[in-house]
Amino acid sequence: MTQFLKTTQVGIDGARTLPRRYYVAPEIFAEESDRIFTRRWLCVGREDRIAAPGDYILQQVGNESIILLRDQGGTARAYYNVCRHRGTRLCEEHTGRFSETIQCPYHAWTYALDGRLIGAPSASEIEGFSKADYPLHSVAVESWEGFLFINLAEDPEPFALAYESLIGRFERFNLPNLTVARTIEYDVKANWKLLFQNYSECYHCGPVHPPLAKLTPPTSGENDLVSGPVTGGFMVINQGHQSLTMSGRSCGVMVGDLPDEDLNRVYYYAIFPNMLLSLHPDYVMFHTLWPEAPGRTRIFCSWLFHPDTLNNPAHNPEDGIEFWDMTNRQDWHICEQSQLGVQSRAYQPGPYSKRESLSVQFDREVLKALGHGRPV
């Protein structure tokens, strides 16, 4: 989706795409799950998915099911969906509201929303049993600008350290106060890395996205984060157009207090390993990516607007939503074609162009996280 030409070049000469096994091998996929998706911060969407005390959602992370809930004191918490008795899944429904407790459906062990075990029928007969020894296994939760993140590591790197470059960066965009107008779920038959690589360059925009290329020249803009876990920059909206919408006109009020220079820009950031954040003058779009298999990724895309846009029928948020739903599908399709090609025995790593420097950086971030000094 995005493009960045005038990058501060970070030495990508000679860079080639990853070998086939990175897109097909179950062993690499398992390594990624172990070293990336159970160690890094993962965006699970907006705070208001669990707005009231007791509200919960289930989030699948690979083979793990995580319960994310709002406790009675208003704190967001997360737990493995695993009973401390015999391990049974506590919760089946993907979303709902707990009364004041979580009760296992098997033998009715009962937990408070802060994770404490508060009821375990007949367990007092077990020698040496103490409820205090069996709280739910917790998962770290962090909130940033209205987004919730979880981290399955036992001792996660603090969020503010892991994403230092994000902190305070988008204050002008008023992110905490924006509202989701729509979320669309996509089931894409492509490896998650192909989708990140795709987002990180606009070399493909001319051939794949003629309508997008008309609104933002594929070689416009500049990168401002060129290495590390967050990469991206901006592209310029052509004169005569105001936003990325079907009509080319704004589809709502400005999301925040934006300076003039932001009024003809779209900012794109890839946030390793599962979030893509795209900031337009009148709406913000974000994707979360959930790898399900080497060749399969579930994607959620949401569009955020200023409440004044959503409360005023004169605005038409659909104009932006439709534009990116169309563009998303173009991306998913080409990534699925790419997956089919890299699965071939004929595929060999090919040379990256200078216009794909952020895709190169992404691959490097993957290899670093896997502890592969070079592709294996």
Q: Which residues of the shown chain bind ligand FES in the complex (CB under 6 A)? A: 83, 85-86, 88, 104, 106-109
- CB of 145 or CB of 331, closer to Fe ion: 331
Q: How far apart are the first and last CA of the chain?
A: 28
- The total of other beta-carbon atoms located within 10 Å of residue 116's CB is 14
Which span sits near Fe ion by CB under 5 A: 1-9, 41-49, 115-123, 174-182? 1-9
153 binds, among ligand FES, Fe ion, none (CB under 5 to 8 A by kind): none
DSSP 308-338: HHHT-TTS-THHHHHHHHHHHHHHHHHHHHH
14 torsion bin: left (phi>0), alpha (psi -120 to 50), beta (else): left
- CB of 109 or CB of 144, closer to ligand FES: 109
Euclidean distance between CA atoms 47 and 58, whole angstroms: 14
Q: Mask 279-318, x = binds Fe ion (CB under 5 A)? A: ----------------------------------------
- The total of other beta-carbon atoms located within 10 Å of residue 8's CB is 12
Using CB under 5 A as the binding criterion, the count of chain residues that bind Fe ion stands at 2
Which span sits near Fe ion by CB under 5 A: 187-195, 300-308, 329-337, 344-352? 329-337
Assess 50 for contact with Fe ion (CB under 5 A): no
Among 136, 147, 145, smallest CA distance to 42 is for 147
- CB of 52 or CB of 132, closer to ligand FES: 132
What is the largest distance, in Å, between two alpha-carbon atoms of the chain?
A: 76
16: β partners: 351
* 183-242: contacts with Fe ion (CB under 5 A): none
Q: Tell me the CB-side half-sphere exposure of residue 204, using CA atoms within 13 A.
A: 22
Task: Please name the residue that has the structure tokens 């900031």.
Answer: 279
Closest separation in Å from C-beta 110 to ligand FES:
9
- CB of 1 or CB of 342, closer to Fe ion: 1
Closest separation in Å from C-beta 44 to ligand FES:
25
- CB of 41 or CB of 111, closer to ligand FES: 111
Closest separation in Å from C-beta 105 to ligand FES:
8
Contact pick of 142, 262, 282, 331 for Fe ion (by CB under 5 A): 331
Euclidean distance between CA atoms 108 and 19, whole angstroms: 49
235: β partners: 266
* 95-134: contacts with Fe ion (CB under 5 A): none
Closest separation in Å from C-beta 83 to ligand FES:
3
3-state SS assignment for residue 158:
coil
Contact residues: Fe ion, CB under 5 A: 1, 331
